[in-house]
Structure 1
């Protein structure tokens, strides 16, 4: 399975993107902003291709087990990111809800003049999570590629 995040708008505090699963659009995404020098919890991960696994430890995992009993199998964990750890795909709405992780949503608010955000994040998560988690459970190779297609970025 191949996931692609196409980053299309970079603002002062956030980056908006589109999530595709095997070439089909699934939802919008939000990450922290671009920084040439990493600031812990405030910087998006570098563009690249990374392996996705299920992570069955940590506070997010425990919280999601309670929130989604019978549904949650483990956090979608983006692995192999240079100089980053614990990068997850999870629920959230704005840059305050992420520390380098990828948030998903059904709609967005532009980050050009305002702070960007994704909306209906839980709905989007419930839509994308099952097929990705099932593929990982079935021992399929699951990869996520982050692509920078942003023409203008602010630092």
Structure 2
């Protein structure tokens, strides 16, 4: 499965964009502030927990996320970063250096993150069932717009409704 994260807008607080799965629009994205300086080591421009990851292509796995206790995708071997996940959240403060997904995008926020996340996880479940690897390409695509005709955000609502809440939440006793 191939994911592409298109970064489209950068502000002082966040980086907005959209995610495609196998060439089809999946969700909007929110990342921390874009600070990348090509050719300069990550350690020079990174602010811990508040910096979007470098552009590139990364392998993705699904592992248990101990905070707040559910399974989520984790990007592997991101230069200068560790534990970068795609997870639920709405605002820059929720990113903790990671990628948030939502069905709608506002200034420095995504909306309906849980719905978008559950719909995305259905793709991961299918890939796992097919023994298919997953990669994500993160690219700067400033000003680009998603092809909503390929898959409108409203379709995420229907997809998520088919997915039970219990299938994504782990109970720790």
Q: TM-score range by the shorter chain?
A: 0.7 to 0.9
Q: Which residue of 2 aligns with 1:71?
A: none
Residue 34 (structure 1) shift: 1.1
Name the CA distance, whole Å, in 2 between partners of 1:79 and 1:136: 17
Instruction: Return 5+ residue gaps in structure 2 as ranges.
Output: 37-44, 144-173
Aligned residues, how many? 135
Q: Which residue of 2 aligns with 1:140?
A: 132
* CA deviation map 1:88-145 (0-9, x unaligned): 11100011001111100000113xxxxx100011111111111123313543110000
Instruction: Return 5+ residue gaps in structure 1 as ranges.
Output: 65-73, 111-115
Higher relative contact order (CA 8 A, sep 6+): 1
| 1:118 has 2:110 as partner | yes
Map residues 1-155 of structure 1 onto 2, 5 A cutoff. Answer: 1-36=1-36, 37-56=45-64, 58-60=65-67, 63-64=69-70, 74-110=71-107, 116-136=108-128, 138-150=130-142
* CA deviation map 1:26-76 (0-9, x unaligned): 1100000112400110100001100000113x513x622xxxxxxxxx321
- The alignment's TM-score, normalised by the length of structure 1, stands at 0.82
Aligned-pair Cα RMSD in Å: 1.5
State which structure, 1 or 2, has the greater radius of gyration over its C-alpha atoms. 2
- The alignment's TM-score, normalised by the length of structure 2, stands at 0.74
